[in-house]
Chain A
Amino acid sequence: MSVKKKFKGLSDKAVGWLFIGPTVLLLLAINIYPLVYAIKMSFTNFYANKIGREPQFIGLKNYIKVLNKEAIWEKMQVTASFMFWTLLLQAIIGLGLALLLNRKFKGNELLTTLIVLPMMLSPAVVGVFWTYLYNPQVGLFNYVINFFYDFGSFDMIGSSMLAPWSIVIVDTWMWTPFTMLICLAGLRSVPNYLYEAAEVDRASKWQQFIYITLPSVLPFLLLALLFRGIENFKMFDMVVELTSGGPGSATELASINLKREAFEKWKTGYSSAFAVILFVTIFGFGNVYVKVMNKIKER
């Protein structure tokens, strides 16, 4: 950059700081400061609704309480099973749809756009209107299911056996297009000459799928699942509006439990400890995600 000096105005270094500064400052103020504050509170017995009382430092007690609480592990299990089923279904259906769409038939652009619509909608509002579809008396979902096989009356949201599936179904409906779009990009990135070479070597279609298609799509699929994994680990809005964690705590995901502890029971210190634990877990995910992303970029 020897020509730099010829240019007038601020130096590049000054412009650089001027441009990045506001973003970093805002993130520090509204993201990092609250996080540090939460970490600080997690070592105290603070209750945000009791304003006059001075919080006391109680060391690791909150963390010990969270980790020893059986209910917390139940929530983690609910969250894990929600993540397992949604990711599995979205991987299979999403990849399947992507393979079909990759056959480039007429109108596939339009169909792709239509399929994608659910994932752009407000999850909370989606949750609300699915309560109507799942309504045991008048719901369309129940009607359609009973039309094919008469189960009699059933309540997707009210039954503790079915409620976990009700949120899995909605999440899968909403987010399968996400995996689909990313897999489709993966499929389109496979160079044609690979298939040509395989064809010359008399590889069957099945072998081509196993040895060329699948390995090429895999990094993309993993990326999509990591994104969904992080999002579903934090899942709150759709489930709150659909089941509000019920019945009992059958669908009480970690975030919903956190909200109850923090904003209904106002156990600020305790819930902060829980939040920090969740954040550390997610951050682990995040690191894996960035590594996968970099690998994809290297290709």
Chain B
Amino acid sequence: MDTSRSYLEPSSFSKKIAAAIIVVYTVITLIPISWMVMTSFKNVDSAISYPPEVLFEPSLEGYVNLFTNRSRQSPEYLDSLPPPKNWYEELVRSREMVITGPSKFLGRYSNSMIIGFGSTFASVFLGALAAYAFSRFRVPLKDDLLFFILSTRMFPPIAVAVPIFIMYRKLGLGDTHLGMIILYTVVNLSLAVWLLKGFMDEIPKEYEEAAMIDGYSRLQAFFKVVLPQAMTGIAATAIFCMIFSWNEYAFAVLLTQFNAQTAPPFIPTIIGEGGLDWPAIGAGTTLFLLPVMIFTIILRKHLLRGITFGAVRK
């Protein structure tokens, strides 16, 4: 053990203690999330039993309730109906209810998708152009411009929400997909420019210079040489923008109501009989959070960069 570095390596005992504490913390920190996922598989009664049930009979009632609207019916009426056609109808009937139609959840979820993808594409595209220019050219007032772009992120959303609300009402963009896509694009632009500039700074200038000596124009060199090189950075930036749009709540709740409402303002409004329908909310939450968790795992190498706007890299 007498190597020159051995004293810098923590002892195996201290490593074990550290590992044990971290494992305990990880377990505790994951309890709320796991509990929500578990709740989504409970039935309505077991979700409100006390003490809370850790072991329970799994049920898809939450998911059925999430996707349907139901109404309570008298037993006589239910008896008069033809037998249920499928398992979920049967489940609803066993609660003395009938399905009256699909709920709004799917529509809200797809709004989140449309607005998320639309704004991500736009902000990454515009961000990549601006980032390249900031990275390669001598732009007058470069630092001021970059700071200006970053500072737009510091506005409390509510502070600009009223003017945007009035402006959108005049332009007919209120409660539309396009309006929300434009808004989220703008909010994400600062992140996209800063992150992508960092990634592009890391691509050697010589690549595109060589291409330009070979006869490419600046634009061709950008699209055919630089963009493919920056693909990892672009993908990471896109995921960050997507997660932001996906999670955004303040603008969504203030500027959308019916047509373009996304999932975050909708999930809290899922109400069952006599209060909130916890399994259904759990189901909505689970379906809503799942993509983000998967993306986080994909992103883990770039996480630090993303959350600090590129200020801290490994």
Residues of A within 8 A of B (CB): 3, 6-10, 12-13, 15-20, 22-24, 26-27, 30-35, 37-38, 41, 48, 97, 100-101, 103-109, 111-125, 127-133, 137-140, 143, 173, 177-178, 181-182, 185, 188, 192, 195-196, 199, 220, 223, 227, 230, 233-234, 236-237, 240-241, 254-255, 258-259, 262-263, 268, 271-272, 275-276, 278-279, 282-283, 285-286, 290, 293, 296-297
Contact = CB atoms under 8 A, between A and B. Distances in A.
A24 B297 CA distance: 33
Given A38-B163, A103-B10, A132-B281, 11 more contacts: A16-B133, A16-B137, A22-B129, A113-B297, A116-B303, A128-B268, A140-B35, A143-B51, A173-B32, A272-B162, A275-B162
Interface of B: 4-5, 7-8, 10, 14-16, 18-19, 21-23, 25-26, 29-33, 35-36, 39, 47-52, 126-127, 129-130, 132-134, 136-137, 139, 145, 147-152, 154-167, 182-183, 185-186, 189-190, 193, 212-213, 215, 217-220, 222, 243, 246-247, 249-250, 253-254, 264-265, 267-268, 276, 278, 281-282, 285, 288-289, 292-293, 295-297, 300, 303-304, 307-308, 311-314
B247 A129 contact: no
Secondary structure at chain B's binding surface: helix, strand, loop or mixed?
helix
B32 A236 contact: no
Contacts of B35: 129, 133, 140
Given A15-B137, A38-B159, A27 B49 contact: no
A30 B296 CA distance: 29
B15 A105 contact: yes
Given A181-B304, A199-B7, A23 B193 contact: yes
A111 B26 contact: yes
B292 A31 contact: no
Candidate in A17, A100, A227, A296 with the most chain B CB atoms within 10 angstroms: A100
B156 A234 contact: yes
A72 B227 CA distance: 49
B54 to A, nearest CB: 9
Contacts of A13: 137
A31 B137 CA distance: 25
A278 B160 CA distance: 12
Which 6 residue pairs of A and B lie closest in terms of their CB atoms, listed nearest first?
A: A9-B217, A34-B163, A275-B159, A124-B249, A122-B247, A19-B133
A22 B308 CA distance: 24
A115 B26 contact: yes
A26 B23 CA distance: 46
A24 B303 contact: no
B265 A15 contact: no
Contact of B22 (A19, A108, A139): A108
Contacts of A278: 156, 159
B22 A100 contact: yes
Nearest to B218: A15
Contact of A30 (B15, B16, B39, B183): B183
Contacts of A297: 311
Contact of B307 (A15, A113, A115, A178): A178
A139 B156 CA distance: 32
B65 to A, nearest CB: 15
5 contacts: A122-B292, A124-B253, A129-B35, A263-B161, A275-B159
A31 to B, nearest CB: 4
Candidate in A13, A117, A258 with the most chain B CB atoms within 10 angstroms: A117
A287 B118 CA distance: 32
B33 to A, nearest CB: 7
Given A138-B49, A283-B154, A185 B247 contact: no
B127 A23 contact: yes
